[in-house]
Amino acid sequence: MEYTQLGRTGLKVSRLVLGTMNFGGLTDEADSHAIMDAAHDAGINFFDTANIYGTGEHKGLTEEIVGSWFARGGGRRDRTVLATKGYGNMTPDGSPWNTSVWPNDNKLSALNIRRSVEASLKRLGTDHIDVYQFHHVDRQTPFEEIWQAMDVLVRQGKVLYVGTSNFPGYKIAQGNEVAARTGRLGLVSEQCLYNLAERRAELEVIPAAQEYGVGIIPWSPLHQGLLGGALRKEREGSGARTKGGRSAAGLADPAVRTRVQAYEDLLAEHGLEPGEAALAWLLTRPGVTGPIVGPRTAEQLASAVRAVELELGGEVLAGLEEIFPGPGPAPEAFAW
């Protein structure tokens, strides 16, 4: 496994991040524990979760499963850089983002931040969170209030670093400017949607992150399976559909199918597995700390680990750029 610094910090993390969103839903507790053990065996030390992960009836189940794995001892917690998130509504019948059964049960008020951190610590069975991430922007709460809440948690030793997820570039800049004015470290990571098929983050989010020394942690690196050999699997009848029966992202669109076929043909010509190549491409991108991989099985984890050692040649990189062109830098992408 290769390691890098998380943004501008001194914290060393693996180039792959173990995503746990499937734990408790598609993957039961025993298999989840086995996957986490296999991740450590492969050298992955960076685990990502969130307070709302689990099932609709049991939000928080994923954190509980990670906590039960930590409780098995053997240095599991000490060897893990633990990241979780807060923002969403934890009630079973509430939308995680926009509604709340009670007025202060979601978003980023100082009150909800404190409550969310305390609840996550209890579910995770630990005394601190290494990277606490805001799962979404809160347009009503000023960063002055957010940083005041985080200051208390940092002084208490309950949180070490602060990151974001799904933030636009201007909010990354705003958060770090407010932090800088008061001598705080500020935001150190941003978890965003970024992959070969979805490159809009290159317009504003990634440049802002690079400017402020914020590490990029891409989520959905295979774009809901689209980049993982979706057409080949469809032909083989081996899983181009999600659990809900939907085709991998966008395959119903003929233009998308044509592009994905060109992608799979290019990689087949060079003897490369699509999913591994998609991860390897992300590892070449400026500002990327490491993509989040969310394996449902140990075999999927092993495939992701192989991507770290995969070197894509110039011909492959050029071909990928032709098939999935980026938007270009801002403002030139939309102005002169």
Active site amino acids: 53
Q: Where are the beta strands (DSSP E) in the chain?
A: 3-5, 12-14, 17-19, 46-48, 54-55, 58-59, 81-86, 129-134, 159-165, 187-193, 215-219, 292-293
The enclosing H or E element of 151 equals: helix 143-155
Orientation angle between helical segments 298-308 and 274-283, nearest 10 degrees: 50
Q: For the chain, what percentages of helix, strand and coil (3-state, to nearest 5) are there?
A: 40, 15, 45
Q: From residue 19, give the alpha-carbon distance in Å to each of 36, 220, 269.
A: 10, 10, 30
Rounded-to-integer distance, Cα 259 and Cα 239, Å: 19
* C-alpha distance from residue 167 to each of 24, 112, 144, 173, 193 (Å): 27, 19, 17, 10, 10
| CA 305 distance to own-chain centroid | 16
CA 198/CA 332 separation, integer angstroms: 19
Is the distance from CB of 29 to CB of 37 less than 8 angstroms?
A: no
CB 162 within 8 A of CB 186: yes
